[in-house]
Structure 1
Amino acid sequence: MGEARKIEIMDTTLRDGEQTSGVSFAAQEKVSVVRLLLEELKVDRVEIASARVSEGEFQSVKKMAQWAHTHGYIDRLEVLGFVDGTTSLEWIVNAGCKVVNLLCKGSLKHCTYQLCKSQQEHLADVKNTIVHAQRMGLTVNLYLEDWSNGMRDSKEYVFRMMDGLKDEAVTRFMLPDTLGVLNPDETHLFCSEMIARYPKLHFDFHAHNDYDLAVANVYEAIKAGVKGVHVTVNGLGERAGNAPITSVVALIHDHMGLSTNVDESKLYSVSKVVESYSGVRIPNNKPVIGDNVFTQVAGVHADGDKKKNLYFNDLMPERFGRFREYALGKNAGRSNIIKNLEALGIELDDEATRKVTARIIELGDRKEIVNLDELPYIVSDVLKNGVENQDIKMLNYSLTLTDGLRPTATVKISIKGEIYQETAAGDGQYHAFSKAMYKIYKKLDKPAPELIDYVVVIPPGGKTNAYVQTVITWKFQDKVFKTRALDIDQTVAAIKATMKMLNMIESGNIPNMNYMRLP
């Protein structure tokens, strides 16, 4: 670790990551992700597919290869290929790619029971495939599949394979913990043995997260001297997934003092795009990119941050295109409130701050979640001017759901004292409500926001009559922000959240911090 070196990052979101149950990227989504990985994040290499999967996959790879050719990245696109004569190689060449990641057997059990071949037979097949790849103009990297179990159970097999392949035209030898079985001690030992025995070869390490040790194993592999590591965006991958790029990059930069080519500031935005494409939500406590990981909850922490940033660490949110927040709930103290008021540009005297703090703690005890968007409304309510100063008020609404007919909604609102009413049908009750509101706004020639996301959350331990929280993400004038509300009925909660949003826009009080620029 004493030598300063740069670690090569290979992202396999579009190959290994797409093996996540229920995940399938469309062709245009794949092109988009490749662009983001190479041009925004600046990863070194991208593994984009497995050969021979389907005709649809072939067409997707062709589109990615065409884009890569045009933009000078074709040598950084890699496709998994198999020891099948020239079948995989022809598939890859015909798709327009130039790099094959050849999958051979890295354990005696796989060779014996899956291939039903001797090691000598398999080694001969691998060498033959490498020769064909050279003739076809392909660069070859080589996976030793199930290498981790091979090192556990049959090191002699692994070393015989390496002895037979070390002088072949292989650019990188890739060491996968295929079943995610290794612990950090084993990872360091096995990688060290490979590097000591074959010091002139380039080794990559490929971790899986079955024991939640993928990032720790990457750490030990790099300590042992591997030159490259494999990751996925958001840790996507089969079973428990792969090592997430966000945690791995932060680990390399902060704990190892080594460098990568990855642009940290783009990690969050790229992660959100992949979240949208994959349909797999990022957990709120996911390191670096989770919604809550830069949120201080305890009041003592906010107080410490005011006093020489006592509760900061090296994971500064600004590195990743994010910002620090201070939670508003039952654990909030006066310092939390002041931090959030400062973010909104609101100044209160000590007595008003005390009252706002008491109200937020009261809401927290009732399991209500208070966020930065809602703080101005709480302040207004506490200071007895919230209701009177609402420019847009819901006077009445009616929702109708009839079997065999589309839901309908009739809404009656006032905007600065003027009353408006409209009726509309929709695909659901809230959709009907939204269309009725849109009719009013269209007649008034008022700009309407775009709904980006809609989430319903049931509090843990809730009963059938429990509140549900509806959280809606909006886009208005290039700003993205959220409003949320609680009610026993999720549609009613959504309507309340919508009214909050409309009053924010009407008053020009959209928070300046709680939004991100869309890519």
Structure 2
Amino acid sequence: MIKILDSTLREGEQTPGVYFSPDKKMRIAEFLDQIGVDIIEAGNPAVDSEIALAITKIVQGGFKSKIGAHSLCNIDNVQKVLDCGVDFLGVFFSVSQKRLDEDYHINLETAIEKIIKVVSFAREKNPNLLIRYTPEDAVRSPMKNIIAAASAAVQAGVNIISIADTTGYSNPFDPQRSMYFYVKTLKEELKKQNLHPQIEVHCHNDKGLALANALDAYRGGADIIDVTTMGLGERAGIVDLAQLLINLIDMGEDEKSWQLEYLQDLYKFVSENCYIPLPPHQPIMGSHAFTHYAGVHVKAIAKNQMLYQSIHPEILGIKSKFSLGIQSGYAAIEMSLKQIGREDLLNNQDLVIKIITEVKLMAKQGNSIDIETELPLIIEKSLKHYS
């Protein structure tokens, strides 16, 4: 079964302007634990002492999820992670030739020595620690560099190798830079050395392909996929938690593995506390995701909602709904009147037509029409026409 690592508290907080206080981080961790994510990446303690404090509190929260922290590949930073008492340590160091030459000014051998030293230190300090090594910007790095660094890291004590598409460069339709190719190749090459780490993927959304790349990695045999709530993260963010879970269920994962009814509360809380509105048309979690509007749609879903849906919203603890506006016809008004207990008005066809006309006029003024609050006012206005 696939594992989910949620990085809302680490990658998500790298979204410009986003900050979660320790108390808010604890609440987000509670939601993630209720949903059933396997690993909560709670931050990088070297960034700020408050982050270190929040990680420590989350570790002490008694969650079922493993609690992890992120670190540069150096002993001082790793020690700060270990001081938080986490179950999971993630260290990263790029082995792309460009970074080695232009940024670090070292060769591959020196980079691998550094990785081995840091991983060995962490493993010696905590034999039970789950350790991940990430060759940052993996999909733009020579495969031979990745294999060499990953092999050395696993032999030094790493449990997980993360393939990071740091710049959103990967493409599922390009055989040489697809996540499927990288996952399959890395697994096969490490297996030849009798090395069997879990393979994780971290997909950025710079070109809008993060979810597609993550599912491509899943098809290739990835063991762990990174996500954030709302797809938050650097630049265009990474894979969205809700979208990934729904697609994994569609691809055969057991929906009982996750408590999806907590997603609504999580997304509302994160959106409110990072001051980023959730777009209404956002897949799965947007307010319009299961809202039907056009007349032909509304008429059809009155008979069977799956005629115009491929997802059962009930697994999220919500129901399909419909909206009134310029596209509304008789069927939509009929359903709306029944919803608010005014089906008696359906006996007057002229009145219903008047209500439809008023709905369309109001919609043309750019107003949203809420069935529970706005429709009764339209009814009252329409009834005056007959008084």
TM-score normalised by L of structure 1: 0.69
Residue type of the alignment partner of 1:50: N
Match of 2:330 in 1: 334
What is the identity, as a one-letter code, of the residue corresponding to 2:73? V
Q: Which amino acid aligns with 2:36?
A: K
Residue 167, structure 1, aligned to residue 163, structure 2: no
Corresponding residue for residue 92 of structure 2: 103
1:326·1:339 contact (CA, 8 Å) conserved in 2? Answer: no
Contact kept? 2:133, 2:150, Cα under 8 Å: no
TM-score by length of structure 2 reads 0.91
What is the identity, as a one-letter code, of the residue corresponding to 2:227? V
One-letter identity of the residue aligned with 2:181: L
Corresponding residue SS for 1:167: helix
**Aligned with 1:49: secondary structure?**
coil
Query: Structure 2 CA distance, aligned partners of 1:206 and 1:19?
Result: 15
Superposed counterparts of 1:63-102, under 5 Å: 63-67=57-61, 71-73=62-64, 76-84=66-74, 86-102=75-91
CA distance in structure 2 between the partners assigned to 1:307 and 1:63 by the alignment:
50
Kindly indicate whether residue 54 of structure 2 is the aligned counterpart of residue 60 of structure 1: yes
Find out whether 1:359 has 2:361 as its counterpart: no
Letter in 2 for 1:272: K
2:188 to 190, 193, 196: 196
Q: Is the aligned partner of 1:378 residue 2:370?
A: no
CA deviation after TM superposition for structure 1 residue 352, in Å:
2.6
Cα pair 2:42 2:69 within 8 Å, conserved = yes
> For the residues of structure 2 that align with 1:49 and 1:306, how far apart are their CA atoms?
46
CA distance in 2, matches of 1:269, 1:342: 29
Matches of residues 255-334 of structure 1 in structure 2 within 5 Å? 256-259=251-254, 261-309=257-305, 311-334=307-330
Unmatched runs of 5 consecutive residues or more in structure 1: 1-5, 389-519
Which of these residues, 23, 38, 50, is aligned with residue 18 of structure 2?
A: 23
SS state of the match for residue 61, structure 1? helix
**Is residue 92–residue 98 contact of structure 1 (8 Å, CA) maintained in 2?**
no
- The one-letter code matched in structure 1 to 2:324 is L
Within 2, Cα distance between the matches of 1:72 and 1:279? 27
Q: Which runs of 4+ in 1 moved over 6 A?
A: none
Q: In the alignment, is the contact (CA less than 8 A) between 1:107 and 1:157 conserved in 2?
A: yes
Q: For the residues of structure 1 that align with 2:97 and 2:339, how far apart are their CA atoms?
A: 60
Contact 1:218/1:229 (<8 A) preserved? yes
User: Is 1:10 aligned with 2:13?
Assistant: no
Give the drift of 1:329: 0.7
Q: Unaligned stretches of 5+ in structure 2? A: none
Q: How does 1:181-192 map to 2 (within 5 A)?
A: 181-185=169-173, 186-192=178-184
Q: Which amino acid aligns with 2:333?
A: I
Tell me if structure 2 keeps the 8 A contact 1:51–1:92: yes
Name which of structure 1's ranges 56-65 and 115-124 shifts more when overlaid on structure 2. Answer: 56-65
Considering only aligned residues, what root-mean-square deviation do their CA atoms show, in Å? 1.9
Greater relative CO (CA pairs within 8 A, separation 6+): 2
Partner amino acid, structure 1, of 2:163: L
Letter in 1 for 2:102: Y
1:171–1:202 Cα contact (<8 Å) kept: yes
2:135 aligned counterpart, secondary structure? strand
SS in 2 for 1:198: helix
Find the aligned partners of 2:63 and 2:302 in 1 and give their Cα distance. 48
Q: Could you tell me how far apart the structure 1 residues matched to 2:2 and 2:20 are? A: 28
1:148 equivalent in alignment to 2:139? yes
Q: Percent identity?
A: 23
Structure 2 residue identity aligned to 1:262: W
Distance 1:182 1:310 in 2: 34
